[in-house]
Structure 1
Amino acid sequence: MFLNLQENAIFIADSHYNLKNTQFSSFLLKIESKELETSQLILMGDNFDFLSGESKYFIRQNKSVIELLNKLSKSIEIVYLEGNHDYNLQKLFPNIKVIKRENQPLFGKYKDKTIALSHGDNFINWQYDLYCSIIRNPILLKFLNSIDFNNFISRKIEASLLGKNICHKIENFKSLVTKRINNYKTDIIIEGHYHQGSSFKIENKEYINIPSLCCDDKYMILNNYEFIGKNI
């Protein structure tokens, strides 16, 4: 897939939607009501605190937001880059362009600029790649689902996620970015994952880290070459 980024495209990252973090649902309702208008919505991954196409408990828990996304996808273009908390999603979102981790970065263009988009947990090491392939294995996930009696496993996962503090600043984040951009050859690099909401210009490349919706209550909109942070 090749993406043509549109003017006024909206970017949302790391909403980690769950019983505690409900900003994602509120934001989508604003799009549904036309309080916010866009023709293109880019979901940068980890929009759910956990969701996979095989996990029946979490599909039920997130049913209202899944249905809302599917409704919106009939009227606007939605691109969903899978993250490390949400994967194997295409069956849940038939009209959404779902980009699996192994197919990231997603390349595209905005006016005269080349772009690359990733959730941000790629280009780490082979051990992490192996871990990612294991936890996404449909056979394993279906097996775990089959032994999830009374949702015991799912509730354990949910409780663990609800108890996590995922909002913090990374010291020397620019140093990490400087290393990461060596994996890209585009003019603009857009990532989520790190919850930093920072932008840098390094070696003629522009790096954008989309802010975490659940940590900062912010999204970004693209307007005339500028990635502008907006409060929800």
Structure 2
Amino acid sequence: MANNSYRTIWISDLHLGSTQCQADVLLDFLKHNDSEKLYLVGDIIDFWALSKKTYWPRDHNTVIQKVLRKARHGTQIIYVPGNHDENVRDYHDHVFGDITVKNSDIHFTSEGKQFLVVHGDEYDTIARYHKWIAKLGSVGYDFLLEISRFLRMIRRWFGIQSSFSLAAFVKFKVKNFVQFISDYEESIVNTLKNQNLDGVICGHIHHAEIKEIDGFLYINTGDFVESCTAIVEHSNGVLELVKWHKTKPVIAHDEALETNVHKQISWLLAKRDNIKRQ
């Protein structure tokens, strides 16, 4: 599979360090998608989860190495911390391994449009003023994600490819949560629409979206926990929501190996026939 090349990529809510992170899909996305600029839009490392138990498998480490490798090879990487990695906000404007930390940033598309890039918890009243409620809700959400992960493992075991998420299904069947998403979107748009911006690119609520609200473009990157989504900017400035499905490995056609296998099979068949004649 040929790599996709973009001007800019935005990903958020990876939640490395938690069991919910779909690191295998994330690694596949990073492998097949390149860009001049890469935004990490918060909740990249889940310090909330790590504070409860240490969980850092090899593929989570590989994700970090992959991102650092992209930075070394010329990709401009900007890390905008979120509420699950809010300690990183203390290092605004610092550079770590060619990755720049910014609590927010203004991105100019190739068309000259201006977008505020921010994680988005700053506009969530529950996350901002009632952290204990946010953490309590996070526990329930994590429980649903664990069940989703278990179901995903079963589906893969039976060879069923499906992006179904129990957590997402429950969220959008609960009227209060649907209202929360709507309130969140309106809150962030009403706060920013008079600030000489064309739109906002954020994460936080794990609900990928590109839509216009009162002439202001609201864009949410989604996550790599449930939906495995990203926002990309093409060279002409067009922004697109991408939902990533892990690619199937390509098996190379080796004629020498194929010939050898045929010889081995022919030899075994001949040997079987000799035994039968005896």
Q: TM-score, normalised by structure 2?
A: 0.57
Give the direction of change, closer, same or farther, for the CA distance of 1:93–1:87 in structure 2 (3 Å limit).
farther
- Give the structure 2 partner of residue 37 of structure 1: 34
After alignment, is 117-126 or 208-217 more displaced? 117-126
Give the direction of change, closer, same or farther, for the CA distance of 1:58–1:228 in structure 2 (3 Å limit).
same
Displacement of 1:19: 5.4
User: What is the CA–CA distance in structure 1 between the aligned matches of 2:95 and 2:61, rounded to whole Å?
Assistant: 10
After alignment, is 172-181 or 190-199 more displaced? 172-181
Give the direction of change, closer, same or farther, for the CA distance of 1:160–1:73 in structure 2 (3 Å limit).
farther
- Give the structure 1 partner of residue 45 of structure 2: 48
Aligned-partner residue type, residue 39 of structure 2: I
Equivalence map 1:139-178=2 (5 Å): 163=143, 165=145, 167=168, 168-169=171-172, 170-172=177-179, 173-178=181-186
Equivalence map 1:1-232=2 (5 Å): 8-18=7-17, 20-24=19-23, 26-28=25-27, 30-32=29-31, 35-50=32-47, 63-75=61-73, 76-89=75-88, 93-99=96-102, 103-104=103-104, 106-110=105-109, 111-124=111-124, 128=128, 163=143, 165=145, 167=168, 168-169=171-172, 170-172=177-179, 173-184=181-192, 185=195, 186-223=197-234, 224-232=237-245
Contact 2:221–2:241 (8 Å) recurs in 1:
no
Aligned-partner residue type, residue 229 of structure 2: K
User: What is the CA–CA distance in structure 2 between the aligned matches of 1:13 and 1:205, rounded to whole Å?
Assistant: 21
- Give the structure 1 partner of residue 250 of structure 2: none
Structure holding more strand per residue: 1
User: What is the CA–CA distance in structure 2 between the aligned matches of 1:162 and 1:178, rounded to whole Å?
Assistant: 26
User: What is the CA–CA distance in structure 2 between the aligned matches of 1:22 and 1:195, rounded to whole Å?
Assistant: 12
Aligned-partner residue type, residue 181 of structure 1: V
Contact 1:117–1:191 (8 Å) recurs in 2:
yes
User: What is the CA–CA distance in structure 2 between the aligned matches of 1:24 and 1:220, rounded to whole Å?
Assistant: 18
Larger Cα Rg: Structure 1 or Structure 2? 2
Displacement of 1:27: 2.5
- The percent of aligned pairs where both chains have the same amino acid is 21
Give the direction of change, closer, same or farther, for the CA distance of 1:80–1:129 in structure 2 (3 Å limit).
farther
Displacement of 1:205: 0.6
Structure holding more helix per residue: 2
Aligned-partner residue type, residue 222 of structure 1: E
Contact 2:6–2:34 (8 Å) recurs in 1:
no
Q: TM-score, normalised by structure 1?
A: 0.67
Give the direction of change, closer, same or farther, for the CA distance of 1:201–1:162 in structure 2 (3 Å limit).
closer
Give the direction of change, closer, same or farther, for the CA distance of 1:97–1:177 in structure 2 (3 Å limit).
same
Aligned-partner residue type, residue 119 of structure 1: H
Give the gaps of 5 or more residues in structure 1: 1-5, 133-158
Give the direction of change, closer, same or farther, for the CA distance of 1:195–1:126 in structure 2 (3 Å limit).
closer
Contact 2:21–2:224 (8 Å) recurs in 1:
no
Q: CA RMSD in A?
A: 3.8
